[in-house]
Amino acid sequence: MSGAGNDFVVVDNRSGIISDAPSFSRKVCDRRFGIGADGVLLLENSKTTKFTMKYYNADGSNAGMCGNGGRCLAKFAFDLGITGGNKFTFEAFGHTYETYRYDDTSYELHMIDPFGLVLNQKIQLHNRIIEGNYINTGTDHSVIFLDANIELGSLTAVDIFGIGRSLRYHEVYKPLGANINFVSKTGLNSIEIRTYERGVEDETLACGTGSVASAIISSLRYGMNSPVSVKVKSGELLTISFKRKGEAFYNVYLKGGAIRTFTGNYELP
């Protein structure tokens, strides 16, 4: 499945057929010897909501919520007929996510309230200082505004892999590291982003929680109002809606596409 270009191997695991999810993820996400994906989504049973979402990065790590993956798994569950309608809830990483289905390819998630905000970080990287901004929107994110770091160049020219990888492992974000989002303002309430994702250890075509983080901090930096339109690397648009009180944000929603690209069989070793 694909959520705005973020691609996933999705499995109905209510029977528990996948017992070693990290190992399974590393194998199937390999783009040469497996199926190829940014991560694995497992749909599992829940006692309190319609289902439980388990997410594993391509390297087998379990690093937090995936917004694009959440929309994909919501569509997967709806197609399985287990949601009971267009509005339903699921649990992931200890939080209940309310979901709304607009149509067959458009879903919206009610995200957690962002926390841990740290603005205007001065990060020493090799021979330069980079200004970053940290926030957790279900997982750790650093937002790098290119107009505050003009030496990095434009969004098309910036060294996403080199700088992204160095910042992802930087001591400022230890012990887990962070996803690195490079952001360019494109309008009064619109931005464009490119993201280096930990666990994938490369640039991805989209990052849902990164889009939320970038929209939230863009509201603080540029005074952007809800909703903020976010153009991701794939060219698709994600819509971030929120309420704001000072530097606190709540009622945060992530809306975007979710499609099934193909269905097939994979032989477990």
Catalytic residue among 29, 73, 160, 207: 207
Q: Give the pairing type, strands 140-145 and 115-125.
A: unpaired
- Could you tell me where the beta strands, DSSP code E, fall in 47-94? 52-57, 87-92
Catalytic residue among 4, 11, 58, 66: 66
Which of these, 50, 56, 45, 41, lies nearest to 14 by C-alpha position? 45
Which residues, at least 6 apart from 105, have a Cβ–Cβ distance to it below 8 Å? 75, 257, 258, 259
The answer to whether 72 is a known catalytic residue is: no
Residue 26 one-letter amino acid = R
Asked whether the beta carbons of 217 and 133 are under 8 A apart, the reply is yes
Annotate 166-185 with DSSP letters as a single string.
Answer: HHHT-GGGTTT--EEEEEEE
The answer to whether 66 is a known catalytic residue is: yes
Annotated catalytic sites, by residue? Answer: 66, 207
